[in-house]
Amino acid sequence: MSKKVTVFTTNTCAYCAMVKKYLDGKGVSYEVVNLDDQPDKQKEIYEKSGALTVPVTLVEKEDKTEEVVIGFNLPRLASVIA
């Protein structure tokens, strides 16, 4: 099953780096959206997640449904990328 994974980050977020390291370790390819560089994306991810914090990991499944993981939540992250 093909999934599109996007990690919303900022330059100073330690948990963002941990999420990316986890995904790298699992061999999951992902796109990074840095909200410091693209502040216009903050509204988009807030509307999807309700969160004003990072990291937010957005996983779009093959059927176009989306799963949102807020923060460094490994059990949730593992279940949505599986």
Q: Please identify every stretch of the chain with a pLDDT value under 70, giving residue numbers as ranges.
A: 1
pLDDT of residue 10: 97
**How much is the pLDDT for 2?**
72
Taking CB atoms within 8 Å and a gap of at least 24, the contacts of 27-35 are 28/81, 29/5, 30/5, 30/6, 30/57, 31/4, 31/5, 31/6, 31/7, 32/6, 32/7, 33/6, 33/7, 33/8, 33/9, 34/9, 34/10, 35/8, 35/9, 35/10
Residue 74: its pLDDT value, please?
A: 95
The structural domains of the chain, ordered by start, are 4-81 (3.40.30.10)
pLDDT of residue 82: 87
Per-residue model confidence (pLDDT) at position 20: 98
